[in-house]
Chains A and B, each alone.
Chain A
Amino acid sequence: EPEVTQTPSHQVTQMGQEVILRCVPISNHLYFYWYRQILGQKVEFLVSFYNNEISEKSEIFDDQFSVERPDGSNFTLKIRSTKLEDSAMYFCASRDLAGGQYFGPGTRLTVT
């Protein structure tokens, strides 16, 4: 069964460094998302992406964040200058026209 994949599974970085989290959505899906979950808290929406542009973004998704679909398969989330409070599990998700959103296994980001 097709699935969303994410790399790396765990990323440790120092405050102020840039990180890029990578995702490969399910191949025939059209809509792509990033969510995050801080330990012990609920899953929060960051950004949605469709037709090579951002559809919607939350208040969390400030100028430090950006997304890109550099080719036909990858979908990336970049954090330019990480802060301690960016430590969280980051989930990529994708969906087709009519179905539910399918989540990847997540990348645990630890900012020290």
Chain B
Amino acid sequence: EDKVVQSPLSLVVHEGDTVTLNCSYEVTNFRSLLWYKQEKKAPTFLFMLTSSGIEKKSGRLSSILDKKELFSILNITATQTGDSAIYLCAVEVGWWTGANNLFFGTGTRLTVIP
């Protein structure tokens, strides 16, 4: 059975702290791993990772994938209250580069205190 596990389930930090969110997976037919930020409603796309060891960065956020150990981390440096959200890890599974579906973890709820 395909499985995506995120840790921790929740995290409370102070503004300015650095956080690391974890995602491990066990799936068949791995295509890519994606990170999303979910505030009130829709998941907002952050990163898509397909290759091991290549860091993707966007401002204070960065992410890396390890396909050998089957995990990814999402780092947020100098956290701000606007970073408070649920961060979702999703693994794209499928047989071909087409309409492959995403298998989601339960998310990490991050709360940043001023």
Chain A residues within 8 Å of B, Cβ to Cβ: 31-33, 35, 41-45, 48-50, 55-56, 58, 89, 91, 97, 99-106
Contact = CB atoms under 8 A, between A and B. Distances in A.
Contacts of A97: 97
Q: Secondary structure of the A side of the interface?
A: strand
Given A100-B45, A103-B44, A106-B41, A42 B101 contact: no
B14 to A, nearest CB: 27
Contact of A49 (B48, B99, B102, B103): B99
- Counting contact residues on chain B (CB < 8 A from A), the size range is 20 to 34
24 contacts: A31-B98, A32-B99, A41-B106, A42-B105, A43-B104, A45-B101, A45-B102, A48-B100, A48-B101, A50-B98, A50-B99, A55-B98, A56-B101, A58-B101, A89-B41, A91-B43, A99-B48, A101-B34, A102-B45, A103-B36, A103-B42, A103-B45, A105-B42, A106-B41
